[in-house]
């Protein structure tokens, strides 16, 4: 084996492989524009977090996620979006502080680990405060396991997730954020 082939094989072996198998769904299809361009498909785990998935589906079907920015993006950790109150039209200084008109959700913690490509619900310090915001993991974060609700897994478009503009401000805030142009549901 050539040195280049050996290095490539070692790098491939060291990189966690994202399971790109579609489960029972429904799937959330996110069209992204900005520095990152393309489509992200998330297999929503209704068997793991039925209330959270139902709320995400309702918001997506109502068009609430359309034109919402990725307001908090921390390289090597996660990209957060979904603030339908303050995150539209390029976002505002309050992006990340809002939710939707729907009620907050009770926690649906599970044993599903926060691995690369896993989608979780953002919340405040109150475990029962998730509403509309969610985040996509760039890398595993075991400290989140059992502390946040897992709602899905990216099954295609992880390259788009990786290209999302990273935060340049405090706590990962993004001055010129990428956005979810259109979010639809495939059942």
* Helices within the chain (DSSP H only): 3-14, 50-61, 158-163
- In tens digits, what is the pLDDT along the chain, a chain of 187 residues? 544 443 444 344 443 444 457 777 799 999 999 999 999 999 999 999 999 999 999 999 999 999 999 999 999 999 999 999 999 988 888 998 999 999 999 999 999 999 999 999 999 999 999 999 999 999 999 999 999 999 999 999 999 999 999 999 889 999 999 999 999 999 9
DSSP letter assigned to residue 90: T
For residue 129, tell me if it sits in a domain.
yes
Measure the CA–CA gap between 187 and 58, rounded to whole angstroms. 12
Q: Give me the pLDDT at residue 22, please.
A: 76
- Residue 14 forms part of a structural domain: no
Residue 160 lies in a domain: yes
DSSP E strand stretches across 50-149: 68-69, 72-74, 78-81, 118-121, 134-137
Domain count, the chain: 1
Give the helix ranges, DSSP H, for 1-127. Answer: 3-14, 50-61
Hey, what are 73's tokens?
């993006």
Residue 151 within any structural domain of the chain: yes
Rounded CA gap, 139 and 126, in Å? 24
Domain span at residue 152 reads: 27-186
Which residue matches tokens 């399971």? Answer: 19
pLDDT of residue 89: 85
SS3 content of the chain, % helix, strand, coil (to 5): 20, 25, 55
Instruction: Mention every residue, 6+ apart, whose C-beta is less than 8 A from residue 120.
Output: 78, 114, 134, 135, 137, 144, 148, 149, 150, 151
Q: Phi and psi for 99 in degrees, rounded to 5?
A: -150, -140
Residue 76, by phi and psi: left (phi above 0), alpha (psi -120 to 50) or beta?
left
1 domain residue, yes or no: no
With respect to residue 159, please indicate whether it lies within any of the assigned structural domains. Answer: yes
* C-alpha 182: how far from chain center: 14
CATH number of the domain where residue 157 is located: 2.40.100.10
């Amino acid at each position: 084996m050539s040195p280049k082939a050996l290095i490539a094989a070692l790098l491939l072996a060291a990189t966690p492989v994202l399971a790109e198998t579609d489960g029972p769904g429904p799937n959330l299809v996110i069209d992204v524009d900005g520095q990152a361009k393309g489509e992200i498909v998330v297999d929503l785990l209704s068997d793991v977090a039925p209330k959270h998935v139902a709320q995400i589906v309702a918001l997506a079907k109502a068009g609430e996620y359309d034109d919402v920015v990725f307001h908090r993006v921390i390289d090597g950790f996660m990209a957060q979006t979904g603030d339908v109150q303050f995150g539209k039209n390029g976002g505002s200084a309050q992006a990340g502080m809002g939710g939707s008109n729907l009620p907050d959700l009770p926690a649906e913690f599970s044993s599903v680990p926060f691995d690369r490509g896993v989608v979780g619900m953002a919340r405040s310090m109150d475990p029962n405060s998730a509403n509309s915001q969610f985040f996509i993991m760039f890398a595993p974060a075991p400290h989140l396991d059992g502390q946040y609700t897992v709602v899905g897994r990216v099954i295609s478009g992880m390259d788009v997730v990786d290209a999302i503009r990273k935060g340049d401000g405090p706590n990962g805030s993004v001055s010129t954020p990428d956005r979810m142009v259109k979010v639809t549901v495939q059942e």
